[in-house]
Structure 1
């Protein structure tokens, strides 16, 4: 089998422009990731004809080749052995690729670098909240009653699940603080402390801010500072993390090693803490509310238009990498309003891409493409769309367009019905677990739309084109 992996590695190497065109290379769970000196030298068509290659695409300055879990590391090791290129970390590849990005792309990449590492915790919390929804949602199993009402012995079981699930959202600033400070070059441990400081129990809970009759305050030498926490908020901890990392790096360059343990962390946290509660927190909290109100306002005034635009544009945004910016908006909406109407459309968009890929299995005659279409469809139905999008649908543009049309129609419908998710979960068929149970019916209709429309459109357009 190693001979096959070596042959695949050789062919990939030739079609990405040779060893001399590779600035750095690494791999993730399913893909080879290249920072190439000149992407125009890539022979994409020949590359995708290689036996184990399921697709390829370029994003955020990286050229990525989709191979698959359990195989990609073997091909990568063969490539390293053949070329002698040093094994690079994902961060080194990102840093090399970032040199080619414009300021907007760098900003989007920064958000992705911050939120992707914490995504497993958020998705896990979403799945657990889905289980809690099944146990506590009225009308799911019994008329107007929840399962825990009929079987009270399950009530405490559901309560513990809810506590475990809510932890990631209650202490969200701690997760973001850890990831953001790490991304900005500071100490991740200080980021955790900063995030938890912003949700300290001595502070007024942000979720009770609007209903509070009196806001507690500190008096700092005549200056009144509100003692308000930032539960569920994204912007305050993001900006505070940047400030903390900047101060820490500044101090480490100027304080002798012997005194760094005693001085750097205390000074950095103290300065950032005061700035967070006096300046950063109040300003970013207000900005976050403006963003939330603006997004909510659009979908309240014109839900059909909002659903059409976001449902239709999400997949194209994935191609550019800009979809990562909306993860922050989702988390802000969940923290401020208790739910997000954007994420349900993400789940349906993923299903639509999977459906279009599945339809291509009945359109194409090439056995490799049939196999790729089937496996990538299953992957998309479970929330991983890259193989379906880049390996199949974008190769046959009408399949991608069919998926976008189905997603847009479903987005219009569920937006009109006011479908919301209590959390971010698995963006595919299991996505219903994150939807508020009272909106399951509308979400399932949206799911039917993205299972039927892309399939039918892809089949019709494919037959008209008579694919081989």
Structure 2
């Protein structure tokens, strides 16, 4: 660990000294600081250090990219050298929250809720891709699928489809767990609440429209109040608001109910009250709002797909810089639950690929050996869905690669949106992302990937050469 003493001291000096560090932790690749005054940071000096791959500030945290496998050793040396004491991610988040406004805290809350469930959603997307390969017609055989020609694989595909769909069928259960935990309640009650909203005795949300046309929606009559017995499969907003209420009721009761009877009172009362409110008010209201949000996006992208795809491709990477991209996770999941696919997430894939190619171009355009190594490693990372090293370590630092990348992503986004590309689910946001795309759009999406791969590579390289010549 002492091998990083010199590097740590240089980092501390560049960020304004040990006295400027309020608290610090680390994640897989980055040191995360909450600084007393970010104005004291000498970013140019910081990023000139060999061990530093880039740095940026977001949501009240100043983050220094070190790299996987090294960052934990650097952090331990940082703690030893500065005496700041080790802190958890939650400690740093709480400290950083004091430096953010209401909107930033709302975005951070959404991120805290949805990021923990992403592994399940991404896994579902990859498995849906395997199911696509087996069941889609025309991939390997003209007018036929693999299971049409080889029926012995049909049951295998069926099991894969069941496993893949589970995360979406019981999505409110996953969100309930994460949301109630985030709001300070018992995550177990959050799971129960989420599963309650998709109970098989309820009318399935996907059959609501047809049942409404036929006038066959089942109802409860509670003290003269008519409540529809409708489930909320694939819906995001009903469980988010219900989870917040459940957590607040639980916290309220735990502070006032004696320990000896908490088991008999807190959970039953909290779930009972939240359940009534959820089915009577929260569900119907947020179901309407959720469908309204879906209609807004689908209407825009249906009316002017070229403009919608271009603009979202253009702004997605800047949204990542601000952290606001987490907001669209909820929109993607809402679209998947309502229309059976999302047209936003495929653009994310192209944006990530474009950032990787812009970084890769810098490897060919520069003579700086450190930048060559950083460009190559960060490009590979971006192609696999992790864009921070490419964006903050290379592209934003030199500005023009970032501009070339977002222009290319916008062009690719416009192309795939005009062609109606949809993803079955959220998957790996890089080259493997094609497996989450609905099989009928693989050819078109592949062309979009080629645009996002080649165009920023060429634009960035040519601009770098022209700038050197000038």
| 1:394 alignment partner, SS class | helix
Instruction: Show the counterpart of 1:368.
Output: 370
Instruction: Show the counterpart of 2:203.
Output: 204
Matches within 5 A, 1:98-177: 98-177=97-176
Q: For the residues of structure 2 that align with 1:159 and 1:8, how far apart are their CA atoms?
A: 54
Q: For the residues of structure 2 that align with 1:176 and 1:9, how far apart are their CA atoms?
A: 39
Matches within 5 A, 1:351-390: 351-390=353-392
1:429-448, Cα deviation, whole Å (9 max, x unpaired): 00100001110111011111
Counterpart check, 1:51 vs 2:53 = no
Q: For the residues of structure 1 that align with 2:361 and 2:302, how far apart are their CA atoms?
A: 35
Structure 2 contact 360–379 (Cα < 8 Å) conserved: yes
Q: For the residues of structure 2 that align with 1:273 and 1:340, how far apart are their CA atoms?
A: 30
* Residue in structure 2 matching 1:320, options 311, 322, 325: 322
The 10-residue stretch of structure 1 (150-159 or 253-262) with the greater mean CA deviation from structure 2: 253-262
Report the Cα offset of residue 115 of structure 1.
0.5
1:402-461, Cα deviation, whole Å (9 max, x unpaired): 000100000110000000000000000001000011101110111111111111110111
Instruction: Show the counterpart of 1:250.
Output: 252
Instruction: Show the counterpart of 1:41.
Output: 40
Instruction: Show the counterpart of 1:440.
Output: 442
1:229-286, Cα deviation, whole Å (9 max, x unpaired): 0000000000000000111111111112222111111111100000000000000000
Instruction: Show the counterpart of 1:260.
Output: 262
Instruction: Show the counterpart of 2:86.
Output: 87
Matches within 5 A, 1:331-350: 331-350=333-352
Counterpart check, 1:425 vs 2:430 = no
Instruction: Show the counterpart of 2:411.
Output: 409
Q: For the residues of structure 2 that align with 1:301 and 1:85, how far apart are their CA atoms?
A: 55
| 1:335 alignment partner, SS class | helix
Q: For the residues of structure 2 that align with 1:133 and 1:183, how far apart are their CA atoms?
A: 35
Instruction: Show the counterpart of 1:180.
Output: 179
Instruction: Show the counterpart of 1:466.
Output: 468
| 1:360 alignment partner, SS class | helix
Instruction: Show the counterpart of 2:239.
Output: 237
| 2:200 alignment partner, SS class | coil
Instruction: Show the counterpart of 1:220.
Output: 222
| 1:211 alignment partner, SS class | helix
Report the Cα offset of residue 4 of structure 1.
3.1
| Structure 2 unmatched ranges of 5 or more | none
1:202-228, Cα deviation, whole Å (9 max, x unpaired): 101101111123001111122111100
Instruction: Show the counterpart of 1:70.
Output: 69
Q: For the residues of structure 1 that align with 2:34 and 2:401, how far apart are their CA atoms?
A: 29
Structure 2 contact 2–77 (Cα < 8 Å) conserved: no
The 10-residue stretch of structure 1 (147-156 or 254-263) with the greater mean CA deviation from structure 2: 254-263
Q: For the residues of structure 2 that align with 1:304 and 1:458, how far apart are their CA atoms?
A: 24
Instruction: Show the counterpart of 2:192.
Output: 193
Instruction: Show the counterpart of 2:276.
Output: 274
| Structure 1 unmatched ranges of 5 or more | none
Q: For the residues of structure 1 that align with 2:3 and 2:384, how far apart are their CA atoms?
A: 29
Report the Cα offset of residue 18 of structure 1.
1.4
Q: For the residues of structure 1 that align with 2:9 and 2:162, how far apart are their CA atoms?
A: 51
| 2:226 alignment partner, SS class | strand
Instruction: Show the counterpart of 2:294.
Output: 292
| 1:88 alignment partner, SS class | coil
Report the Cα offset of residue 3 of structure 1.
3.8
Task: Tell me the matched-pair count.
Answer: 467
1:76-107, Cα deviation, whole Å (9 max, x unpaired): 01111112212111111111101111111111
Q: For the residues of structure 1 that align with 2:315 and 2:57, how far apart are their CA atoms?
A: 19
Q: For the residues of structure 1 that align with 2:162 and 2:49, how far apart are their CA atoms?
A: 48
1:355-383, Cα deviation, whole Å (9 max, x unpaired): 00000001111100000000000000000
Report the Cα offset of residue 14 of structure 1.
1.3
Q: For the residues of structure 2 that align with 1:401 and 1:82, how far apart are their CA atoms?
A: 39
Q: For the residues of structure 2 that align with 1:13 and 1:256, how far apart are their CA atoms?
A: 49
Q: For the residues of structure 2 that align with 1:389 and 1:258, how far apart are their CA atoms?
A: 54
